[in-house]
């Protein structure tokens, strides 16, 4: 059997998760039906019913009210709507509100719009420090707010880091911000289905979720927005979603999204336990097999499906490609810009040096992951690391 004939060992669920069969069925059932959810005739009303039933299902699963679920094209749009919408709304109320508090480990869908606001709208970004495990401390948030509460626009803090899996104290941060009537946004894209997510209990004002990270379709997500939170739209048109977001609604995708979220939340406890057992076996197996391998992130307060490790003396890109040649699919802790691999901003914010940041891999597990997948990694990782180290030494010799 050639490598192309083998089923890939897919351990990159944090990037995207295979669609659930039930979500595929729900989506395809609606694909052949015509109807714009904004139309008043029968076909339009049928499409609207699909959308609203999906909205109700997602809201119930996430501890929100249906009117608080604003459909978007995905997590990136939802993050942009949250940051830019909060910024302009808060600034309109009080021109002193120019400080945005955020951590340096946020996803680029949060970092980049924040940097854009700084460059184009004179926002003042204040970076919340993280410790060596990738955690923001609530006391640091309180100090940042109390230094000048009237100047703070909002706080944004992800629920779970997409690279190292560390969980953040979002509820505690939201409670601190609420003392000063400062809104809080959280990107919960990685958290839904892996840990409990309850919008109302978190006390945040806006929360980002995405379908394709929980077994739903690509191209759809939602920003859950508290009913009293004001947002300035960034897309203008028909105002289909609470006059906050315009665009014709994708009824089939909302149906698939709802099924995926409902399934992920319903099975979260059992699935989290199963994934944590597999994850722990993977981590302990790698550390006992590969000298110098180190776990990144919080060893306890982390996503059950995340195992992020660094390997001394070799590049993560080399490890990824060598594993890929064995049909094992993972991701690195680096980002590629213009063809040049750069160390992960998350790992650098956690205090890693360039070498350790470059020599990292993320294994992320999900609903298709099995014990056989873990065994496949453990059977290969030792020889793969040795080969990557040898390649690195050869490159050093040629460049010296």
| Active site members | 336
CB 161 within 8 A of CB 135: no
Q: How many CA atoms lie within 13 A of 372 on its CB side?
A: 5
Distance CA 367, CA 351 (A): 32
Of 20, 88, 79, the C-alpha closest to 257 is 20
Distance CA 26, CA 48 (A): 15
Distance CA 120, CA 188 (A): 27
CB 127 within 8 A of CB 259: no
Long-range contacts (CB closer than 8 Å, 24 or more residues apart) made by 119-124:
121/87, 121/91, 122/98, 123/87, 123/98, 123/99, 123/153, 124/98, 124/99, 124/100, 124/151
Of 356, 353, 334, the C-alpha closest to 345 is 334
Of 72, 90, 80, the C-alpha closest to 112 is 80
Residue 155: alpha-carbon gap to chain centroid: 17
Distance CA 232, CA 93 (A): 12
Tell me how many helices (H) and strands (E) the chain has. Answer: 13, 15
- Number of CB atoms found within 10 A of residue 299's CB: 11
| DSSP H helices in the chain | 21-31, 42-62, 75-93, 108-121, 138-146, 170-178, 199-202, 251-266, 268-289, 316-324, 345-349, 354-358, 371-399
CB 376 within 8 A of CB 328: yes
């Amino acid at each position: 059997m050639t490598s192309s004939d083998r089923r890939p060992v897919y351990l990159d669920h944090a990037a995207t998760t295979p669609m659930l069969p039930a979500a595929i069925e729900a989506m395809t059932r609606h694909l052949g039906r015509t109807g714009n959810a904004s139309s008043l005739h029968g076909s339009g009303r049928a499409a609207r019913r699909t959308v609203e039933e999906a909205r109700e299902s997602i809201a119930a699963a996430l501890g929100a009210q249906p009117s608080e679920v604003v459909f978007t094209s995905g997590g990136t749009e939802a993050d942009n709507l949250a940051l830019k919408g909060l910024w302009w709304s808060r600034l309109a109320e009080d021109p002193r509100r120019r400080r945005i508090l955020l951590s340096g480990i946020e996803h680029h869908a949060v970092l980049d719009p924040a940097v854009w606001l700084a460059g184009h709208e004179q926002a003042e970004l204040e970076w919340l420090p993280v410790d060596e495990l990738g955690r923001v401390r609530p006391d640091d948030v309180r100090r940042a707010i109390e230094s000048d509460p009237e100047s703070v626009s909002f706080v944004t803090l992800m629920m779970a880091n997409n690279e190292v899996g560390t969980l953040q104290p979002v509820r505690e941060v939201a409670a601190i911000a609420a003392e000063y009537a400062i809104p809080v946004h959280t990107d919960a894209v990685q958290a839904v289905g892996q840990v409990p997510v309850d919008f109302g209990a978190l006390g945040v004002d806006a929360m980002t979720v995405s379908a394709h990270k929980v077994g739903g379709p690509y191209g759809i997500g939602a920003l859950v927005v508290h009913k009293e939170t004001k947002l300035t739209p960034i897309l203008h048109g028909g105002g289909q979603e609470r006059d906050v977001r315009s665009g014709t609604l994708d009824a089939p995708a909302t149906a698939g999204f709802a099924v995926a979220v409902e399934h992920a939340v319903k099975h979260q406890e059992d699935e989290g336990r199963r994934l944590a057992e597999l994850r722990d076996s993977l981590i302990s197996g790698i550390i006992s097999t590969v000298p110098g391998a180190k776990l990144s992130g919080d060893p306890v307060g982390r996503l059950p499906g995340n195992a992020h490790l660094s390997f001394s003396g070799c590049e993560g890109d080399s490890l990824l490609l060598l594993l890929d040649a064995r049909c094992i699919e993972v991701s690195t802790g680096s980002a590629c810009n213009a063809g040049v691999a750069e160390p992960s901003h998350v790992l650098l914010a956690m205090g890693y040096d360039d070498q350790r940041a470059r020599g990292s891999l993320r294994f992320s597990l999900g609903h298709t992951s099995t014990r056989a997948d873990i065994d496949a990694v453990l059977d290969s990782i030792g020889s793969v690391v040795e080969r990557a180290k040898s390649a690195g030494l050869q490159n050093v010799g040629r460049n010296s």
